[in-house]
Amino acid sequence: MSQLRQRAPLGLLIFGLLFAAPPGAARPEADGSLVGLPLGLRTRLLDRGWLILQEVDRQQAGLSGGYILAYVVFDKPRDEVYALLAQTERQVEFRSELRKVERIRELPDGVIDEHRIRVMLFKVVYRLRYRLQADAARISWELDPSFDNDLERAEGFWELDALEDGRTLARFGTAVDVGAALPNSIQDMVTRSKVPKTIAACREWVQSGGSQRP
Confirm if 35 and 28 have CB atoms less than 8 A apart: yes
Q: Is residue 214 part of a domain?
A: no
Backbone CA torsion sign across 136, 139, 143, 144: positive
Helix (H, G, I), strand (E, B) or coil at 191: helix
Count CB neighbours of 211 within 10 A. Answer: 8
pLDDT in tens, 4-30: 344 333 333 333 443 333 444 445 445
Q: Is residue 213 part of a domain?
A: no
Length in residues, the chain: 214
Number of folded domains that form the chain: 1
Q: What is the pLDDT along the chain (214 residues), one digit of tens a residue?
A: 543 344 333 333 333 443 333 444 445 445 544 656 777 788 888 888 988 876 555 555 454 455 678 899 999 999 999 999 999 999 999 988 889 999 999 999 999 999 998 766 667 889 999 999 999 999 999 999 999 998 888 888 899 999 988 999 999 887 777 665 555 665 565 566 667 888 899 999 999 999 987 6
Q: What is the pLDDT of residue 79?
A: 97
Task: Enter the pTM of the model.
Answer: 0.78
Q: What is the pLDDT of residue 178?
A: 67
Cα(40)–Cα(33) distance, integer angstroms: 12
Q: Is residue 25 part of a domain?
A: yes
The residue segments making up the domain with residue 175 are 3-207
Q: Is residue 16 part of a domain?
A: yes
Q: What is the pLDDT of residue 18?
A: 39
Q: Is residue 78 part of a domain?
A: yes
CATH of the domain at 31: 3.30.530.20
User: Which letter does DSSP use for residue 91 in this model?
Assistant: G
User: Which letter does DSSP use for residue 90 in this model?
Assistant: G
Confirm if 67 and 172 have CB atoms less than 8 A apart: no
Q: Please, what is the end-to-end C-alpha distance for the chain in angstroms?
A: 33
Q: Bridge-partner residues for 126, per DSSP? A: 115
Q: Is residue 212 part of a domain?
A: no
Closest CA to 15 of 175, 162, 214, 170: 175
Q: Is residue 139 part of a domain?
A: yes
Q: Is residue 152 part of a domain?
A: yes
Encoded amino acid at 131, one letter:
R
